Structure 1
Amino acid sequence: MSHPSSTAAREVTRIVNPRFEPGRVDGHRARRLIDGRDVPATDPFLLMAEDHMPRDAFSRHPHRGIETVTLVLDGAIEHFDSAGHTGLIVAGDAQWMTAGRGVTHEENAVAGSMARTLQLWLNLPAGDKMAEPRYQDLRGATLPVRREPGVEVKVMSGRSGDIVSPTLNHVPVTALDARIDPGASFRQDLEPDTNAFVLVLDGDVRIGMQAISVGEGELAWLTRSDGPEGSQVTVAAASRGARMLLFASPPLREPVVFGGPFVMNTQAEVDQAFADYRDGRF
């Protein structure tokens, strides 16, 4: 396949596949697909964890300064927060939570069950760190879908082809959940300044003009395109077919200070977050 001369082809630059480790409670296993150790390389994506969890793995805890995108792959998650919001997210659904100035919440597997989830932390720009908290439940059955021969792309955020998601963003984020039949492929346009990665949930794919193989459970970071021209990534499924996620967003290039569940721009802001939490101002 050839690309127009004005479009840069995205390729795989590195692949990660961390091992599972024991988690917070008995029966909990987790792995960090994005570990927060190299923020300039992953910006604005801060952390991403895959959890196999029983109930009470994530009891009540706070957040400030970030958004979390929680995808349920198996089972179901009950949600509760300090503002009284409750809900149930089942396999195929996702929740896009803007913590903003502060949220205290719980995420629990249904009693007596196990759930498999992915949670991605997205950094908020300095001007939106103290935004009003917001929840968006993305129901798998009602997400807008791009369809091509052998390909179904659910658009959780942003655009794929002519399909645009209504999900609200503080910064532009493309988030896709794609199923590809054996031998099929699709192309995804990406803005030239975005940082992007692909996570293969099932099967295996070939990415880019170099057709780099990325297997089940592996996360592949894509090359960056910093020029003014657009860019595009080609993804093809091998003989087994595949399900994969793609995330892309422009880097913020701002200072990042982690304070447990708080992510701010300075240590003083992290200290203030802890003080506000202790004083019940979330």
Structure 2
Amino acid sequence: MNRAHSRDIQKGWTVQERKISAVHRAGAVLEPGYWEDYDPFLLLMEDKFEKGAFDIHPHRGMETITYVIDGTINHYDSVTGEGGKLQKGDFQLMTAGRGVVHNESPGEGESVHLLQLWVNLSRKDKMVEPRYQNIHKEDAPVRQEEGALIRVYSGSSGSVVSNTLNYVPVTFVEMIIESGASISQDLPGNYNGYIYVLEGSGSFGENNFHAKKGQVLWLGAADESELSFIKVTATDKLRIVLFAGVPLKEPVFARGPFVMNTEEEIAQAYADYRNGKFIRQ
């Protein structure tokens, strides 16, 4: 059996929040455009917004992961014909596939704080039937160790496994770690991974990289043949999310809400949307 490899933190950076409109502030945790580096992830935005920040919009060729940090959001989608409600600590995996039209909005006079991660779909899965998976906080499986709680929304942590369905294998966990406590998160050796610090501070990885609230950490690579893990120690009580996945190593053409493999496929997505052929009735 291969010995598990302890990963370093490759680098870190601080998220810069900016004003988008009177009802919307946002910061790019993962900036769009770095397709090869972030593979299979396309972007990750931290959004704070009120009703009216977003309107109904389409997606094709990717999945979105929405994690609610605080507040309540209502979502409408063309898949179910209705939608639902996500609250603090809830998680949603939307598979756009061949096409969805949806919207996300807080209630009147309310605000929401969330993360939205875009995950690429492989060429063979770009046009799959769309689906929604909503995992409420109380339903997510939990791994508990001394001084640490890990909520497993996708993938696994230790022996705790989520039943979330993924086209691209992705681990997404929330960790709450008490001051002075340590925990290790296991990952396959070929996963590309990141950590975002929501609260507190701590040291991360074999190289004990220090980070605090608002900072992003990029996990160093492990040998693809090896199992790996990332060590986390809380200096102050920590709340973090860790997300990692298998790189697709495919060309990416993205424009607006569509992510495909070629310019021609992007043009077709826009044509289908304009011509009423986007959503299968």
Task: Report what 1:93 is aligned to.
Answer: 90
Alignment-mate amino acid for residue 249 of structure 1 = G
2:257 to 252, 256, 261: 261
Task: Report what 1:60 is aligned to.
Answer: 56
2:130 to 101, 118, 133: 133
Task: Report what 2:202 is aligned to.
Answer: 205
1:271 to 262, 267, 272: 267
Alignment-mate amino acid for residue 178 of structure 2 = D
- Would you say 1:72 and 2:68 are equivalent positions? yes
Alignment-mate amino acid for residue 83 of structure 2 = T
Task: Report what 1:48 is aligned to.
Answer: 44
Alignment-mate amino acid for residue 134 of structure 1 = R
Q: Using the alignment, how far apart are the partners of 1:212 and 1:124 within structure 2?
A: 31
Task: Report what 1:194 is aligned to.
Answer: 191
Alignment-mate amino acid for residue 259 of structure 2 = V
Q: Which runs of 5+ in 1 are unaligned?
A: none
Task: Report what 2:276 is aligned to.
Answer: 280
Task: Report what 1:15 is aligned to.
Answer: 12
**How far 1:187 sits from its partner (Å)?**
0.8
Task: Report what 2:160 is aligned to.
Answer: 163
2:240 to 235, 238, 244: 244
Q: Secondary structure at the match of 2:56?
A: strand
Q: Secondary structure at the match of 2:129?
A: coil
**How far 1:39 sits from its partner (Å)?**
1.2
**How far 1:85 sits from its partner (Å)?**
2.7
Q: Secondary structure at the match of 1:146?
A: strand
Q: Using the alignment, how far apart are the partners of 2:13 and 2:237 within structure 1?
A: 21
Q: Deviations over 1:45-65 (max 9, x none)?
A: 101001110101111000000
The answer to whether the Cα contact below 8 Å between 2:9 and 2:206 also exists between their aligned partners in 1 is no
Total equivalences in the alignment: 277
Q: Deviations over 1:2-41 (max 9, x none)?
A: xx98222111111121311121x31311111111221111
- Would you say 1:152 and 2:149 are equivalent positions? yes
2:117 to 108, 111, 120: 120
